[in-house]
Amino acid sequence: MGFDELLGNQRIKHILTSYLKNDIIPYSMIFFGPRSANLLSFAVAFAKGINCLNNKDNRGDFCGKCTNCVEIEKETFLDLKILEPDGQQYKKEQIAFLVEDNFRKPLKGERKINVLTDAHKMNEYSANTFLKVLEEPAPLNVFILVTDNMNPMLPTIKSRCQVLKFSPLSKTEIKTYLVKKGYDEEKARLISYLGSNMGKALEVDFNAFMKKRENILSILHSLLTRQGIEAILLDLFNRSRSREKFLDYFSELVNLLALMLRDIVVLKIEENSSYVINIDYKEKLMQLCHTITIHKALTLIRKMEYLLRDIQRNLNTKVLILEFIKSYTSQEVADV
Ligand SMILES: [Zn+2]
């Protein structure tokens, strides 16, 4: 038990550990990175590291077994608050409470830890109020602002925080984790190729994932054979009503389509290649080989990669959808 249990981001673990070892706990920090990196679990681990009762002689880690560690895990520890926006944004009462509470001493632990999830969701008033907390550090308090989007945050807030930038999980990290959780190698490999968007999917059961893949294969079929494109377009527009869910769905879609296209290219070069990822779809992908040239498939893969980047940049959903459909249907690509 300890920091080793956390998935990925070794560099961040190292930084947090050295804070603990040297007893230099920053007053305010920003944990910034993709949702999939599971930043909250790092914040919770850091809270354990600070308050663990068994690390007095061996600072830098936590035991996971003492009452403090157990209570922090269950979120019943009195000196740990994990806040989330009440509605679309943090309400002014929520932030005003933090200001008021800031100089109260910890009740039980070494320090009070306040974690603000989706910390970028503050309006101007809340952000300015929160600034008061940062301007007058209380010695036994720690603030961890967790976010996947630092753009809307006030520069004055950012500059007062130690920013830790998390990376997306690598395929190997995901695969190792899944094997450790009891998945067989082949399944773990398949899931790990979902790439950086895996955070939530790691918790999802395998059958649901396979069903989703099947659906995406049929979308690829429609796109390449130009059948039923209106239905795909309509489905995407319907999904885009809920922006957050849509972005998750869309990046998974684009990611999996790119992997299937990649397999088509591999199969066109060598039918018996061992480099096919979606090996269980080999027959179906073979049937699609005649619908596309290698050059066009590679162009599309590149376009899908650009799209993924744009999704991460939080581009307008309508623009993303239209660009996506255009990639598959435009003459420019079709004629190559
Ligand atoms: Zn402990």
Find the 10 Cα to ligand 1 centroid distance in Å: 21
CB 336, CB 293: distance < 8 Å:
yes
> What string of DSSP letters covers 6-59?
S-S-HHHHHHHHHHHHTT---SEEEEES-GGG-HHHHHHHHHHHHH-TT-SSST
**Chain centre distance of CA 31:** 12
Query: Taking the CA of residue 178 as centre, how many other CA atoms within 13 Å lie in the half-sphere pointing to its CB?
Result: 28
Find the 144 Cα to ligand 1 centroid distance in Å: 20
Q: Is the pTM here over 0.85, yes or no?
A: no
Find the 302 Cα to ligand 1 centroid distance in Å: 48
Find the 162 Cα to ligand 1 centroid distance in Å: 25
Find the 281 Cα to ligand 1 centroid distance in Å: 47
The arrangement of secondary structure in 3-165, i.e. its CATH architecture, is: 3-Layer(aba) Sandwich (3.40)
Instruction: List the chain domain ranges.
Output: 3-165, 170-195, 205-334
User: What six digits make up the tokens of 314?
Assistant: 């939080």
Find the 102 Cα to ligand 1 centroid distance in Å: 25
Q: How far is CA 280 from CA 89, 131, 276, in A?
A: 44, 54, 9
**CB-based neighbours (< 5 A) of ligand 1, an ion:** 52, 54, 62-63, 66, 69
User: What six digits make up the tokens of 191?
Assistant: 């899931």
The whole-angstrom separation of Cα 43 and Cα 146 is 8
Find the 173 Cα to ligand 1 centroid distance in Å: 26
SS3 87: coil
The whole-angstrom separation of Cα 151 and Cα 85 is 17
CB 66, CB 54: distance < 8 Å:
yes
Q: How far is CA 70 from CA 23, 75, 92, 112, 273, in A?
A: 22, 9, 31, 16, 50
pLDDT tens track of the chain, all 336 residues?
789 888 889 999 999 999 999 999 999 999 999 877 889 999 999 999 999 998 766 678 999 999 999 999 999 999 999 999 998 899 989 999 999 999 899 999 999 999 999 999 999 999 999 999 999 889 899 999 999 999 999 999 999 999 999 998 888 888 888 788 787 887 788 777 765 455 555 655 677 778 888 999 999 999 999 899 999 999 999 998 888 788 888 888 998 899 999 999 999 999 888 888 898 899 999 999 999 999 999 999 998 888 888 887 878 888 889 889 988 887 555 444
Find the 40 Cα to ligand 1 centroid distance in Å: 18
User: What six digits make up the tokens of 276?
Assistant: 């096919």
Find the 1 Cα to ligand 1 centroid distance in Å: 9
User: What six digits make up the tokens of 147?
Assistant: 């976010």
Q: List, in order, residues 6 or more apart from 184 with CB less than 8 Å away.
A: none
The whole-angstrom separation of Cα 131 and Cα 38 is 26
Find the 119 Cα to ligand 1 centroid distance in Å: 27
Find the 61 Cα to ligand 1 centroid distance in Å: 9
CATH 3.40.50 fits 205-334, yes or no: no
SS3 246: helix
